[in-house]
Amino acid sequence: MPRVSQDQLEARRHEILAAARDCFARFGYEGATVRRLEDATGLSRGAIFHHFRDKESLFLAVAEDDAAAMVETVARNGLVQVMRDLLGRAAGNSDGDTAGWLGTQLEVSRRLRTDPQFAKRWAERAAAIADATRDRLQRQRDAGVLRDDVPVEVLTQFLELAYDGLVLHLATGRPPGELSRVLDVVEEAVRRG
């Protein structure tokens, strides 16, 4: 049997994550049966679960992948940029990327409310996003760009609320409308006058 390179294994893993993200978004966690995951990925359950221990691990890997991308964007460009990227994908959503990402976010939210074990496992990811936001805001404050009359922790919570509101708005199917201008207001609210 030919050996599979690490690059090939990693590429296959990313393919499974992308297909699973779409499946979880379309059917929810419970509805994304192993059969549906097989159909979505075009792989057998053995091939899927060679890379992921079980459906729970696969879902967590999808959510962690999204959270890692978010932390990277926050660290580089801030949480408002994450919101702008999400809005941009929603406005030009031709590939299902936004639907998949939103579906994952909504499923994470649901599981946080209903599954204490998941909430415990997820706390570290949520903390990484909050830490990246706080660090970015502190760097901006140190550079004199950020308002200094409000504690960084309060500004972090303000941006997290704006993000949650945007996710909810888009998840309910409402059109983006003037949300780019709303994000301008959010960004102006944290900047020095």
What are 5-23's pLDDT values in tens digits? Answer: 888 888 899 999 999 988 9
What are 76-116's pLDDT values in tens digits? Answer: 999 999 899 888 877 765 444 556 677 778 888 888 889 89
pLDDT above 90 for 28: no
Domain of 38 in residue numbering reads as 6-190
Number of domains in the chain: 1
Higher pLDDT, 99 or 70: 70
pLDDT of 94 reads 43
Average pLDDT, the chain: 87
Q: Which range in 64-78, 107-121, 151-165 is most confidently predicted, on average pLDDT? A: 151-165
The values of phi and psi at residue 191, to 5°, are: -85, 155
pLDDT of 69 reads 87
Higher pLDDT, 9 or 146: 146
Q: Quick check: is 1 in a domain?
A: no
Say what the pTM is. 0.79
pLDDT of 124 reads 84
Q: Quick check: is 63 in a domain?
A: yes
Q: Quick check: is 158 in a domain?
A: yes
Q: Averaged over 46-73, what is the pLDDT?
A: 90
> For position 44, which CATH number holds?
1.10.357.10
Q: Quick check: is 136 in a domain?
A: yes
